[in-house]
Structure 1
Amino acid sequence: MLTFEKFSTSVALAFPPPELSVLLESLWWDKKGDWQKAHDLIDHLQDAKSAHVHAYLHRKEKDLWNARYWYNRAKKPAYIGSLDDEWEELVKTYL
């Protein structure tokens, strides 16, 4: 089973671990600095969990209107803390 620590250190690799869900792969690419790849992985998905990650990505992009839209789709309140804290919480939630 993948732990948060192992997930976090895997970001040093060239490619994500093969067992990642699309949500975690999106967060992995985001941490690698490839926002576009992270967004492309979930942009077409319509489920609430994907909407939750999608909201975070738009918040990171500073597109707050779009982020609020996706938080609503996810049925989650807009995150108030830091982007790093939200990223960590999302990873831990979806591991």
Structure 2
Amino acid sequence: MKGDRNAALAALDLLKSGDFKTGPEWKRAHEIAQANEGKPEFDRIHALCHRIEGDEGNAAYWYRRAGKPRHSDDLEEEWAHLRAALTARLKCPGSE
């Protein structure tokens, strides 16, 4: 759904605005991911949150839940990849 993708984009943007560090932006992004648990795009964001936090074990759990391997890029590259994928789906007709 479009609303889910908008929420996912908002969570990703919070992580970037917090300079990929823990803090209030990270906390809010984490809350958004938790509130949407079980949806692959949010589980991937949840994994990214835990990578930022430095909790690799927890991140690995969320990558498995999302059905994706751990991303090998640095945090900002992973963020850009996720954001581009979500943005592309927003622009794709019939992807609602």
- The normalised TM-score by structure 2 is 0.75
The structural deviation recorded for 1:44 is: 2.3
What residue number does 1:40 align with? 31
The structural deviation recorded for 1:32 is: 1.1
Q: Equivalents in 2 of 1:44, 1:92: separation in Å?
A: 22
What residue number does 1:31 align with? 16
Q: Equivalents in 2 of 1:28, 1:81: separation in Å?
A: 18
How big is the alpha-carbon RMSD for the aligned residues of Structure 1 and Structure 2? 1.1
Number of residue pairs matched?
76
Q: Equivalents in 2 of 1:91, 1:47: separation in Å?
A: 16
- The normalised TM-score by structure 1 is 0.75
What residue number does 1:21 align with? 6
The unaligned stretches of length 5 or more in structure 1 are 1-19
What residue number does 2:22 align with? none
Q: Equivalents in 2 of 1:83, 1:49: separation in Å?
A: 16
